[in-house]
């Protein structure tokens, strides 16, 4: 039996697509092995969101070639889309698969055997067809990512993704529900709806919106939780937020992409909102949900970001009080408007600003978790681990806060109630099962 090893870089959409391609390999008789093992075929689903992502993609391709010089090496995804035919010159790569070509993996493997065809990349700028990839199992045991949208029309000044992913394309509601039902039948209780620009779902369809999808998924038997991928404030109207609040299965955990807390910087970034709109969005969510976990992305060192502008961002972040912040330094990306901007920020300044925001993130996260001490929370258990000679069962609350309980009994994929009693040295909440869940 031939073996295949797959590795995904970058976002949750990439992870979803990698799992879908893994199922295609399985359906065609391949045994899936760890990427660290010697395999007959290696597939790397690449990322190109930053220059660092490009470099990591190349490193993984060369690592695969080194592990088995005779293997078939397949590069797929955004870096392939961005690098184009240049990658064909790399001896580490045999086949290139761009975006919206991954569903044809079976045909691609067959054509390689017949004619050694190696290039499956086309111009994404006019692509309007959603690629029908799907899966019924994921790498996790409890939570399943469900891709419902692809592409982006925003063209932020720093981002290459609209060029590598193409324009907005939405998945049909019937196909989404078919996949969610299959996942539910295989035991998954939590569905995470994700996409490249989730807010744009339905803008290319008639009579179907993101809220329609959420409501329909909530009606699927066996699905007990729904999470949403990254959103932007423009979608958070009163009508939308009140609609979300009516869906009992929706987790009060919202990732809102901010990027900067300074209006001047946001304008240079070509973001389509200002800080006042963002603040109103957060207040709207907090008025409709009980202590929702709000998380965000923040970029430091965007071209032209002065000390005053960074101070405005810091002040705004203190005011919003996010549960967690993903802080990252601006990385120049060839082909974007920001790469051509003047006043590029030195790396040492980016590092200093990043450290300041990371410290604030740690403080905010600690305060949010402290609020759960002494409370009873619902936890979907996901894994077991041994710490200090004791077995712990670990899962996440609806707010996506990690909680551990001591138990020798396996609890994976059980929804339990936990009395939170303390916080460990590493910040994890610890508690005991309620009497009803000790059975």
Q: Return the CATH number at 421.
A: 2.40.50
Average pLDDT over residues 38-58: 93
Mean pLDDT for the stretch of residues 354-373: 97
Domain boundary among 120, 142, 170: 120
Same domain, 225 and 290: no
Q: How far apart are CA 149 and CA 198, in angstroms?
A: 6
315, two tokens: 């002040």
Res. 296 pLDDT band, cuts 50 70 90: very high
Is the model's pLDDT at 436 over the cut of 80?
no
- Check: CB of residue 393 under 8 Å from CB of residue 354: no
Name, in order, each residue with C-beta under 8 angstroms of 59's C-beta and a sequence gap of 6 or more. Answer: none
Where does a domain end: 371, 403, 422?
371
- Tell me the whole-structure pTM to 2 decimals: 0.93
Whether residue 112 sits in one domain with residue 147: no
Q: What is the CA radius of gyration of the chain?
A: 22
Within 10 angstroms of residue 336's Cβ, the number of other Cβ atoms is 18
Q: Given a cut of 80, is residue 13 above it in pLDDT?
A: yes
Domain enclosing residue 348, as ranges: 264-371
- For residue 438, what pLDDT is reported? 63
Q: How many CB atoms lie within 10 A of CB 106?
A: 13
Does 250 map to a domain? no
Mean pLDDT check: name the lowest of 124-133, 193-202, 261-270, 412-421.
Answer: 124-133
CA–CA distance, 270 with 297 (Å, rounded to integer): 16
Within-domain flag for 352: yes
Q: Domain check: are 116 and 7 in the same one?
A: yes
Same domain for 381 and 350? no
Question: b or e along 113-122 (b: 16 or more beta carbons within 10 Å of the residue's beta carbon)?
Answer: eeeeebebbe
Q: Same domain, yes or no, for 270 and 342?
A: yes
Classify residue 79 by burial, with Cβ atoms within 10 Å: 0-12, 13-18, 19+: buried
Residue 183 — φ and ψ, nearest 5°? -65, -40
The reported pLDDT for the residue numbered 439 is 59
For residue range 115-137, what is the model confidence (pLDDT) as tens digits? 988 989 998 888 888 998 888 87
CA distance 261 to 315: 8
Separation of alpha carbons 122 and 101, rounded Å: 9
pLDDT (tens digit per residue) in 248-282: 999 999 999 999 999 999 999 999 999 999 999 99
251, part of any domain: no
Number of domains in the chain: 4
Q: Is there a single domain that holds both residue 115 and residue 7?
A: yes
Residues 108, 54 share a domain: yes
Q: Residue 335 above 90 pLDDT?
A: no
The Cα 44–Cα 359 span in angstroms is: 34
Task: Please identify, among 353, 371, 389, the residue that sits at the C-terminal boundary of a domain.
Answer: 371
H/E stretch holding 382 reads strand 376-387
Mean pLDDT (the chain, rounded): 94
- In the chain, DSSP finds a helix count (H) and a strand count (E) of 12, 18
Q: What is the DSSP letter of 142?
A: S
Distance separating alpha carbons of residues 272 and 274, to the nearest angstrom: 7
In this prediction, residue 142 carries a pLDDT of 86
Q: How far apart are the C-alpha atoms of 323 and 307, rounded to whole Å?
A: 25
Whether 200 is covered by a domain: the verdict is yes
Asked whether residue 240 is domain-assigned, the answer is no
Query: pLDDT above 90 covers what percent of the chain?
Result: 86
User: Do 348 and 401 share a domain, yes or no?
Assistant: no
Domain containing residue 146: CATH number: 3.30.750.210
């Amino acid at each position: 039996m031939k073996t295949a090893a797959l590795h995904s870089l970058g976002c949750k959409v990439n992870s979803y697509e990698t799992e879908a391609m893994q199922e295609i390999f399985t359906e065609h008789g391949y045994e899936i092995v760890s990427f660290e093992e010697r395999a007959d075929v290696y597939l790397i689903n690449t990322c190109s969101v930053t220059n660092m992502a490009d470099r990591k993609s190349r490193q993984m391709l060369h690592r695969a070639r080194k592990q088995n010089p005779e293997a078939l090496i397949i590069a797929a995804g955004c870096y392939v889309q961005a690098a184009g035919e240049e990658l064909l010159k790399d001896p580490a790569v045999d086949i290139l698969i761009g975006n919206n070509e991954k569903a044809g993996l079976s045909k691609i493997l067959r054509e390689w055997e017949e004619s050694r065809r190696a290039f499956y990349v086309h111009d994404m700028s006019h692509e309007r067809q959603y690629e029908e990839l799907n899966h019924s199992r994921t790498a996790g045991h409890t939570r399943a990512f469900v891709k419902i949208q692809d592409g982006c029309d925003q063209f932020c000044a720093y981002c290459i993704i609209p060029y590598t992913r193409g324009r907005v394309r939405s998945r049909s509601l019937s196909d989404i529900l078919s996949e969610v039902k299959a996942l539910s039948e295989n035991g998954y209780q939590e569905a995470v709806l994700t996409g490249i620009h989730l807010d744009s779902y339905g803008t290319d369809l008639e009579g179907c919106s993101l809220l329609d999808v959420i409501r329909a998924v909530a009606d699927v038997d066996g699905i007990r939780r729904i999470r949403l991928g990254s959103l932007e404030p423009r979608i958070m109207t009163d009508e939308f937020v009140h609609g979300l609040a009516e869906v009992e299965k929706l987790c009060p955990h919202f990732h809102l992409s901010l990027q900067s807390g300074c209006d001047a910087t946001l304008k240079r970034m070509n973001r389509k909102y200002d800080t006042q709109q963002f603040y109103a969005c957060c207040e709207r969510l907090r008025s409709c949900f009980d202590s929702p976990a709000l998380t965000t992305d923040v970029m430091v060192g965007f071209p032209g970001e002065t000390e005053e502008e960074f101070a405005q961002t810091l002040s705004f972040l203190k005011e919003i009080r996010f549960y967690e912040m993903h802080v990252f330094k601006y990385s120049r990306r060839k082909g974007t408007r920001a790469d051509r901007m003047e006043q590029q920020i030195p790396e040492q300044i980016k590092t200093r600003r990043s450290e300041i925001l990371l410290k604030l993130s740690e403080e905010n996260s600690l305060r949010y978790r402290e609020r759960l001490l002494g409370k009873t929370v619902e936890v979907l258990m996901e894994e077991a681990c041994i710490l200090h000679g004791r077995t712990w069962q670990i899962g996440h609350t609806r707010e996506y806060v990690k909680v551990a309980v001591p138990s020798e009994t396996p609890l994976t994929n059980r929804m339990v109630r936990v009395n939170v009693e303390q916080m460990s040295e590493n910040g994890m909440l610890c508690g005991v099962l309620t009497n009803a869940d000790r059975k």
